[in-house]
Structure 1
Amino acid sequence: MGENEKEVGEGTGELTEERTRGVDTPSSGPNVDQEGWPAWLQSAYETLAQYDRLRNVDVWVRLLEEWVALERKYGFENPGGPSAFYTKIGRPDLVDWWSRVARKKVRMEGPGSMPPVKTFAKSFQVWWAAINPDWRERDGSNGCLRLDHRVEIKDKDRWEEMKKPGQCGILTIMVCLFHWFQGVETREDEDEWRKIADDVQWVVGRMNKAIKYVDWSSTR
């Protein structure tokens, strides 16, 4: 075993500090353009990007980059009201807590009590399937998305129902992934988180590619 490696407890599946921090892929953090960011985006990004255990996790870094780029394409819109949120079908209670308590400033700390990691993972996957377009393939046994078979249709409006900019939209998905990861303690749980985070990153990336940049300053 090399001097920079640490042993994982045999048979326990416990994560080493290195593994949870993702130092297998060290980086300087997300490469983003922060010019013109509104206060809500700046505050949320600072919290989501500065958490030590996620700072160098590739899929999280890529997701942050895609997310803020997409918010820019949406002109940093920040609508409010029930319609600004994704569906309540299967929505984790964490989103309701966040909208009441922490929306003005994304916090490092989650609610006083979170469901067990495996319970939260299942509930998030139900919600994630509910908010994705109907054309994405589902698993017939549980209704969750088929993450091993991602095919994007050609329709120009294919991601329209996913368009939820601002604090009440895609940011709520980011918040769920963020607090979910804080509870991860085993390799199995981290692998499950990475699998879902990778799909979220794929969706946000495809949404980015599907829309053209809009110069909102010229329309105001």
Structure 2
Amino acid sequence: DIYSSQDEATTSLSSSEDEEEASKEDSCEVTYPYNGELLMMRRVLNNQPSDTQSQRENIFHTRCNISNKACSLIVDSGSWCNCCSTRMVEKLGLTTTPHPKPYQLQWLNNDGDMVVNQQVEVELSIGNYQDKVKCDVVPMEACHILLGRPWQFDKQTHHDGLTNKITFTHKGNKFVLHPLLPSQVIEDQEQMKTKREQEKREENKKKRKKKLLKIRNQEDSRELSVLSLEIVQEERLET
């Protein structure tokens, strides 16, 4: 009868939709963090929970590939702009352009208000996901690149609050970004802190040697001997 025919049609339609949804899930590319030694970055997120693997208190951290370097990446819906760190831009030699609408920023470091007046187009990849993202250049220390609301809006992302995974479609392909575990986040930050301290020691050593050369030229023997002793002691501590 007409009702049984409608039921059969509804069942057939539902089955077809389920198959289509299953087909979409099968074609989805599951994307894990890029694996590699992290580009140097100063650690400031030192209160990350280290005694659990739960994502409950973890913001979305992952690693991406930029110019064949592993870089720390955060996705944060609380940021109204996409940002990348000044240090990363300098280390990788990326080309910046003037910002069309310069603005003041305060919350990314401890230097107080600053003017953001440069942008850069960053080519990044995570697994098979490859993209170019326009970022504001800021001296942030939490990560190398931060994808905020503009990226989430453009990709129409969906965030799973339980697993902390991010799903989106790019150029017709569906991707699922997996976050780092809290322990991996801690490990990355420790690694970045160590590299930052090494760079700071190298900078101090160069400054002392430059000052030493200047003193030698001035023939100030007393100050020369004191500075030479400091350099020798520092080199012994490093070895």
Q: TM-score, normalised by structure 2?
A: 0.22
Higher RCO (Cα < 8 Å, 6 or more apart): 1
Bigger strand share: 2
Which structure: larger Rg?
2
Higher helix share: 1
